[in-house]
Amino acid sequence: MSVEPREIIVHLGNRVVHAPHREGDTVLSTLRRAEIPIATQCEQAYCGTCIFQLLTGEVRLRINDVLGEADLATGLRLACQGVPEGETVEIELL
């Protein structure tokens, strides 16, 4: 059984924001609730508009039609389909 983080640490340029996370929510839902701006378009994992860089922790993608294995290996994830797992999740918005 996975452990859900209680917050997502978000790097926004020179600013760091701690966004409260609810179990099962996507990164996008968490960011919206915390009023953190993020570009989105399709919200179906087709366009790649909401790509972010995973710095620490794990984010499982429900659906992924955009990112290849090399992208995933470098830590790129989709906010619209990414569900945080683990005790700490830290991301940087691109």
Residue 1 has pLDDT above 60, yes or no: no
Q: Distance (Å, rounded) from C-alpha 78 to C-alpha 43? A: 9
pLDDT tens string 37-68: 999 999 999 999 999 999 999 999 999 999 99
Taking Cα atoms as reference points, which of 43, 11, 16, 13 lies closest to residue 28? 43
Type of residue found at 9: I
Question: Is 2 within a domain?
Answer: no
Give the CATH number, domain containing residue 68. Answer: 3.10.20.30
pTM value?
A: 0.92
Cα distances (Å, whole numbers) of residue 68 to 17, 18, 22, 48, 72: 28, 29, 28, 11, 6
Domain housing 32: 7-83
What's residue 88's pLDDT? 83
In degrees, rounded to 5, the angle at the alpha carbon of residue 71 between the alpha carbons of residues 46 and 23 is 70
Number of domains the chain is built from: 1
Taking Cα atoms as reference points, which of 81, 50, 49, 83 lies closest to residue 64? 81
Taking Cα atoms as reference points, which of 24, 36, 33 lies closest to residue 81? 24
- In this prediction, residues 70-89 reach a mean pLDDT of 94
Question: Is 92 within a domain?
Answer: no
Residue 6 has pLDDT above 90, yes or no: no
